[in-house]
Structure 1
């Protein structure tokens, strides 16, 4: 089909200005080209939406879609849709679009097929490796963190190879493509130094494994349970169920606290008593209350002592060991139990006192001079 022979409305330009009548064929031709470009832009966007909708349907509901392989595939699909539909504006502009289709059409279909197969295969490989890691973790207690990292790395690698193969199907020479990719890699490497640092840090995290998936850690000043690690970022879930993502270079470079690496954990609790109370009696009450809790481990290692003599109280310190998963609950239980025990034994938990002194610098003649003192008690 010759786009130039399309039956267009015959516009009478005899009454038009000469310059406009002479320019009308040019305006008509390139106006159609512009409309064709807008049309293929809309259709390529529709292709992206279809791929995105399909990817969200097949992806796990608890996984973030942004940055996933399906998210990347939707953008790449739009690019290839634009390439596939370029014969339309080219034909309207006067080029031999049939020859272009004969020459590039099979390659375009092959490129799209390669990308679709690569996305499906990469996701299948990633899911299989993660499933294998979960099974090894449940059956043999193996660390599944390396499986998760390798799955993400392999998925991105498969997708990168697929893009190169798709470009070769579109007619890009292999040698020129290799040189182009080399130059692009150098430019991208200079522009994305932080991203490359994150990838390098991700490799180090996968090798040395300072934490595992499921560990409760402190990263970037925040606490949470590790849920995933990829070549670019580490994801953890906070106690209030918020998901936080931190780039791997931050994880590797900043101090990291792993709260669950050890099977047991020690907590330190502080309690204030009045200076008028018997310290030995308070320490014995504190020790007995702690050891009476059934979840306290190694009761012979439970320790109590005077921590400091504060301005308005004597501060006692309790150290005890508990199973790591039960740390928060046992700490809360003991805090409540100690308060109740102190109440039963008549041990006072004091509060700060503030004394304000007021003076009369000039008293009237014949009146008594002296300070006016007021005492105000306030809770801390």
Structure 2
């Protein structure tokens, strides 16, 4: 039985008859074939490694909940790392085409490369498992005892990045990098990265301060960097919050720490400050009594803390009245809307007027003055009533 063999591309191209070609082309043809195949093999390796990255991203997007951000997640990091090591593992192909002894290179570096890949895969699985376990523990602790899970969430993110960093160091050592040289290179690289990424390091430092002092925690409604929302996550780099219209906003921690922090839900109670305007002709005592009585009638108003009303300002066309009432923090928005509505209805029922802006115009009824006379220029060099330089 005859064995069927497939000729290699190099053998096919080098076996072409070049006797009729120009001398210069026939001379360089072997080098053209050699380096052309090297470029093709490099392009093929890049295509395969990119396809591997796409497959990992595809799986990651299917496994990540839709309400969570996918960019810069561990799946994204794993996809880029897998493409890099796939490219490294397949590099013997262009080396062999270029004439190098790739078999000895594979025998020498292959086990280390496989070990490096295994270390990164294990680190990826362990880091995500530890992070998820810590976050789950924090959520359960908050649900059962109301414990603050902000520090736990921050620690989960920090531990995940530390595991990745240690795994990369071990993976590089498996590829044959000496430990002492690797430490020196990492130190120099760390210094260069620190100088280049000063803003990022500022964010990490600010994230540590937020985790230690905890001016807010996950679940609080806050104002950060001029934006309002509920805090959903705190990482070493960013703080994420969900706005009222369900938009997710990520703010770098240096901006969060460097701007005024307003925590709307830290205290169990909040004070309402409402302003109403009445006419100058209305009875102020009656209006203030209606405001206090109507506010105390609301079931969510904490009457034992005292409800106060008074005159705030004498404006151009109205008198401004101010109402202060205490409510539970979760009821703040709804009670505010309710009191504005019912106090307006109570004013209407009691005949108290909320005036519109008015403007008064006065007409002058006295004798109209004659218009001023125009200057007389009939005389040469003078203006009547105005001396010239000659007159002076």
TM-score by length of 2: 0.88
* Superposition deviation, residue 157 in structure 1: 0.4
1:33 aligns with 2:34: no
Alignment of structure 1 residues 1-380 onto 2, 5 Å? 6-8=11-13, 10-299=15-304, 301-355=306-360
Q: Is the 8 A contact 2:115 2:171 kept in 1?
A: yes
Specify whether residues 211 and 191 from structure 1 end up closer, same or farther in structure 2 by C-alpha distance, changes over 3 A only. same
Are the structure 2 counterparts of residues 139 and 81 from structure 1 closer, same or farther at C-alpha, using a change threshold of 3 Å?
same
Tell me the C-alpha RMSD between the 2 structures: 2.1
Does the C-alpha gap of structure 1 residues 134 and 300 become closer, same or farther in structure 2, counting only changes over 3 Å? closer
CA distance in 1 between counterparts of 2:250 and 2:335 reads: 30
Gaps of 5+ in 2: 1-6, 371-392
* Between 20-29 and 125-134, the greater mean CA deviation after superposition: 20-29
Alpha-carbon shift at residue 317 of structure 1 (Å): 0.3
- CA distance in 1 between counterparts of 2:304 and 2:151 reads 37
Aligned residues of 2:223 and 2:262 also touching (Cα < 8 A)? yes
Output the TM-score relative to the length of structure 1: 0.91
**In 2, are the aligned partners of 1:295 and 1:330 still within 8 Å (CA)?**
yes
- State the match for 1:372 in structure 2: none
- Closer/same/farther in 2, CA of residues 362 and 16 from structure 1, 3 Å limit: farther
SS of the residue aligned with 1:318? strand
| Aligned-pair CA distance for 1:7 | 4.1
Structure 1 gap segments, 5+ residues each: 366-380
Secondary structure (helix, strand or coil) at the match of 2:286 reads helix
Q: Distance in 1 between matches of 2:143 and 2:359?
A: 59
Contact 1:69–1:156 (CA under 8 A) maintained in structure 2: no
Q: Deviations over 1:235-278 (max 9, x none)?
A: 01100001111111111111100011100000100000011111
**Aligned partners of 1:219 and 1:257 also within 8 Å:** yes
> Paired residues, what number?
363
Q: Give the superposition deviation at 1:56.
A: 2.5
Mapped to 2, the partners of 1:362 and 1:21 lie a distance apart of 115
